[in-house]
Amino acid sequence: MAVDLRLNRYVRNPPPHETEFQRLERRNRERTFLVLFVHDRALSMQCNKQWMLPECEFIRNAEHWHEKNGSGAIRPEDVIVAAFVSLRRIAVCLCLLRSLCIHFLISGGNGGHFPCEQTC
């Protein structure tokens, strides 16, 4: 539903004519999607299930999202949200790597070559 509502829409450079209300609404939509992404990845890892939200351009650029708020002042809450997104992305990579290691060990190896280039 979050993707259907286009909460994951990434605006690299906001339009110069954007009003304060539009900026706040856009930032709230982005913040909502980032929090949903964090919860989605957390549940996915805890339940060992596939995640529902894709890792889109917005998520890949979320590391510096808090710096581009348009008002000049950085909100501490946004720094925390951006950090949680980065941590979840790292945690998912580690879980995928762990799964590959376990599969590699169970299958008896792959001729001595570990497929590390396929991770993350």
Q: Any idea which residue has 């925390």 for tokens?
A: 80
pLDDT band with cut points at 50, 70 and 90 for residue 91: confident
Query: Please, are residues 28 and 36 in contact by the beta-carbon 8 Å criterion?
Result: no
This prediction's pTM: 0.74
pLDDT band with cut points at 50, 70 and 90 for residue 61: confident
Mean pLDDT of 104-114: 63
* 54 token code pair: 């894709």
Between 67 and 34, the more confident residue is 34
**74-91 burial, b if ≥16 CB within 10 A, otherwise e?**
eeeebeebbebbeebbee
* 52 token code pair: 């529902």
Kindly report the average pLDDT of the chain as a whole number. 80
